[in-house]
Structure 1
Amino acid sequence: VIGIGGCTALLVTGYGIKDTIADIADMQYEEVQLYDMSATLKEGYPAADAADFSELTEVLSESSEDWMPFCEIAMDLTGRSGVKTANVVIPQDTGAAQEYIRLRTEEGEDIPWPGEEEAVISAKLARKCGIRVGDTVTLRTEDGEKLKVKVAALSRNYIYNYVYISPETWKLDNGSDPVYKSIYIHASEGAQENRELSEKLLACDVVSAVAVNADMLSQINKMMGSLDAVVLLVILCAGALAFIVIYNLTNINITERIREIATIKVLGFRPKETASYVFRENVVLTALGTIVGLGAGICLHRFVIANIDVDMVTFQPRVLPFSFVKSILLTFVFMVIVDVVMYLKLERINMAESLKSVE
């Protein structure tokens, strides 16, 4: 039971690793960052349209559904447990900011955009720095600019660490408006696919770079393709474990009961009935081992995820229901393979063996 449980636990862990890691990019760009692309500007976007930005404004008006200037600044956040670098994000209009960045707790509850002297920070960043809701934290830039904000809520996030504040909070501490050097864009239908919009944006003199979320998603998913090799390795290890355990126990079982098996063959048991007489135990023990393995697999999976911690990536342990089904089925497939091999050994048992019994 322990051996089969170990096999199932390995399978649950392997599939669970893939379930946990493979969809991180999809969750980040579909649940948190809702915009399609972003443009980085050489200079800050003005509050009122200036002549230098007329070309950019025209392109955005013609080829996008909507857009908004954002300020992104790398700042060091100081908490109880240390200092971590985070991307501070400030929208020009906090009222419409949730259309571009969705703030939600890890439980899925909506979070309003923080007000004056408040901030919403990524949940993992808070855990790393020992920060709780209601704490006051300090943010500093390389140039010496700093902010003191109260943590209003912790938001879920999967890639990088973010701190979200309002432009009023920045102005209160620094005495000036934020410099909006990023434009978050909702592309028009079809514009993202043919890359026309990104080409037009790059042709604008004020734009230095364009990042398309679909391209980022594709690159990350390609990198995650290597997870299939990891899962395959775990499956092979689990199969080897199951084969060794079941094969050895079944072989010992048959060897020690060879006269008994020969006797029931003499009594008229058909080959299938003889096999069922021996392999019924394998089925029961495999079922019991699988039940034990499912629980052990959940614990092992959480342990593995906890020990592959990365500062800039948040892994939320999860095992999809279908992964449990696959783990159970594969465990029984391994058992059937061993039973097929041992069936041939049963067929080779000579019925004359029953006559050698000392009884």
Structure 2
Amino acid sequence: MPTAQTISSTPLITFIITAYNLPPDMLKTCVESIERLSLAMKEHEIILVDDGSDIPAIDNLPDHADHITYIRQAHQGLSAARNMGLRCATGQYIQFVDGDDYLIQAPYGHCLDIVRYQNADIVIFRETSNNKPSIPLEYDGPISGVTYMHRNNLRASTWGYIFRRSILGSLRFTSGRLHEDEEFTPQLMLRAERVFTTSAEAYFYRKRPESIMRKTSKRHVAKRLSDMVDIILKLQSVANSGPEIDRVALNRRVAQLSMDYLYNTIKLTHSRKHLEEAVDTLRRHGLFPLPKKNYTKKYTTFRALVGNPIGRRILLATIRKDNP
């Protein structure tokens, strides 16, 4: 029979907020969304990692400073900020929150109930941009992380998960890398034995033009694509060195990321030359042609088109380029 978590002096959950030059009202909304949750003071801790903002982020939170562990570091990027938060966290569970987003009280409370009563390793929930949470709130599980990856497309964003801190082991984010979640989340999932999924739209995600992933300079685009390749090869290496069941799960993720890499090469460069170079890069590592699998309709269609020169020309003609 499900039981509540054992009472201890250890907080149930640590919220790690990362911030860099954010509008004060957004960061305040983020912090207040956590404070409104159905958690006693001793059940949670809030760690705010300020990644070198021009004005210390805590200066904009005078009414909340006593309840926050504030860490200010030189600007090193999101991965380093999250790693710092993990280093200082003491909670049984971890929740990452980007400082310009916030948690929605009722659906996130549902996620916390799964944590409390189902002994979850990971709870997967949904994000929204309309602040009108869907009902009813349902959940499925448990299944292992490997089984989940066999059956589903993995959403990489780490803020879409509550996870047990003890399953991390030595896993951390690679500093300085874009798309860092794509490398981190699959490896986290492999460590989980009890994964629950819920329909709860518990995380409010703001689409901001200032976001680093919306930059379109040639230098930034080149780094995005280069980092995607590095992540694909890292996961391929992990797959090749792991047990068969993990390998099958990771191979699906590698294939999907390879598709995303080719798609983003088209969308970000709209260059036939760059697309052919991307194809050659994957081919050199045994990742092209993409595996003949029916993962999703989108994957199957894209695989068929990108696998030949005529299809690649069709993709270049039909996929719109991102513009500044």
Fold shared, TM-score > 0.5 on shorter chain: no
TM-score in terms of structure 1 length: 0.22
Greater C-alpha radius of gyration:
1
TM-score in terms of structure 2 length: 0.23
Give the structure with the larger helix fraction. 1
Relative contact order (C-alpha < 8 Å, sep 6+): which is higher?
A: 1
